[in-house]
Structure 1
């Protein structure tokens, strides 16, 4: 079950440019019965695997050169997301389990709304330019960094619409750029979680993590190969529906 779940979620991540954690989190809580903070930490570890492998697997469609050409955008968002990730992880370790369940459910709904609103966006004119765009990028990055740490997610569900709408990026390029922003952001949040005793959940569940990681890598490879075949007009609304169902399950679990 861990291998299969990791594979399916990894395929979604590789296809869209997500870490897949928002789908994995309800699975860890509802199916495998991990405590919420434990689930967030395990989730972040699995998201790191998906994000790190999705970038090279997507390179056939979105080459590394295209990502390098847009390094100012990546740095702009990272300026806020790294700080947000640090603060978000600190808040998560201090919240009660019931409160964290409800926050997770609310954030899942918010992400679903963003997907529905942003899924029809196409590359074109950026929403802002110059200094206003830079400031908006830092603020957006900070908020996304907080969400990423609270949920243990890569943040691609918010990064992709931000890249498309704020910077006018192509949807496929936005997926790879979001992975480039997500990886260092998640590493910062992960290092912050390592200072809390709940981080020992990784050591206690090494076998589980290994099996799910193996499934995730197979899934991200499949997702990377499917990039460009499955139309976003069908994919993203379907993901939004899954998120809403997941949010309902997590909320009831609280």
Structure 2
């Protein structure tokens, strides 16, 4: 995907890391910002996730954000989507049911909070060229995780208590790192992890993943707020609001269309989208 051709805007401060594309210029394409967010939301809704892994290459390839700026924007948009989805999830799975499994969330959070801080630290210290390559590798990993999660039946491991706790912390740390570096909520990894390690059913795992994702994203957000490129949010606030609105609208539509397109067709197609995006991001300079 090539950068969106936009005319230069004079007299408008530009985010220094965004390839010279002014925030005001991006807003000249309001339908594109909303539409891109809606498309991502629909894709996420169709597979029961937030879709942030599909938003990231759009922010880089279509809207011209540099790697770190795109990650920070993606993180902010993911946070909005998760906060919006949480009440709906709580309506589907009672607070009492979640409370009965609070130890699972705490176990994963013990690792994911540390992982989120570490991942954000690494991201802000990476050279831009290195970050593009890291993001490309993680997109390939997400494509593999998406394919495996939807093409195989995830069983549960019958691990001894202490081993299960250690495995939960380690898995949480890895998920926190990936979520922070990509700016995603991490549900793609959290849900199968919760099913595999703790034997939770898929519906409960989806709700628990949101409870883990929210504080994990806030920790990464707090670390990113200390970076100079965090100013990208202030410079592109209206753009972010439009894309967030599109993402929420699309997610609702995608949720209603859930099951309309067979996974046998949908999942391979989305995996290919991620792989193609990974190649384009890797070649980005």
TM, length-normalised to structure 1: 0.90
In 2: Cα distance, 1:57 partner to 1:8 partner? 21
Look up the match of 1:96: 127
Q: How many residues are aligned here?
A: 254
Partner of 2:177: 146
- The 3 A distance-change label for structure 1 pair 242 and 169 is farther
Separation in 2, partners of 1:115, 1:43: 19
- Aligned to 2:159, the other structure's residue is in SS state coil
Distance, in Å, in 1 between the alignment partners of 2:128 and 2:39 is 27
Q: Which moved more, 1:167-176 or 1:84-93?
A: 167-176
Structure with greater contact order relative to length (CA < 8 Å, sep ≥ 6): 1
- Return 5+ residue gaps in structure 1 as ranges: none
Picking from 27, 30, 36, the partner of 2:67 is: 36
Q: In the alignment, which residue of structure 2 is the partner of 1:133?
A: 164
Partner of 2:16: none
Shift of the 176–125 alpha-carbon distance from structure 1 to 2, 3 Å rule, reads same
C-alpha change, 1:246 and 1:196, in structure 2 (3 Å) is same
Instruction: Output the CA distance in 1 between the equivalents of 2:103 and 2:82.
Output: 20
The equivalent residue for 2:212 is 181
1:65–1:245 distance in 2 versus 1, CA, 3 Å? farther
For 1:186 and 1:133, locate their aligned partners in 2 and report how far apart those are by CA, in whole Å.
24
Structure 1 residue 249, shift from structure 2 partner: 1.9
Q: Which runs of 5+ in 2 are unaligned?
A: 1-31
Aligned pair in 2 of structure 1 residues 220, 60: CA closer, same or farther (>3 Å)? farther
Q: Tell me which moved more, 158-167 or 230-239.
A: 230-239
Q: CA deviation at 1:205?
A: 0.4
Give 1:203's aligned residue: 234
SS at match of 1:93: helix
Query: RMSD of the TM alignment (CA)?
Result: 2.2
Is residue 44–residue 254 contact of structure 2 (8 Å, CA) maintained in 1? yes
With structure 2 as the length reference, what TM-score do the two structures score?
Answer: 0.81
Cα separation, 2, equivalents of 1:232 and 1:72: 32
Report which of the two structures shows the higher radius of gyration computed on alpha carbons.
2
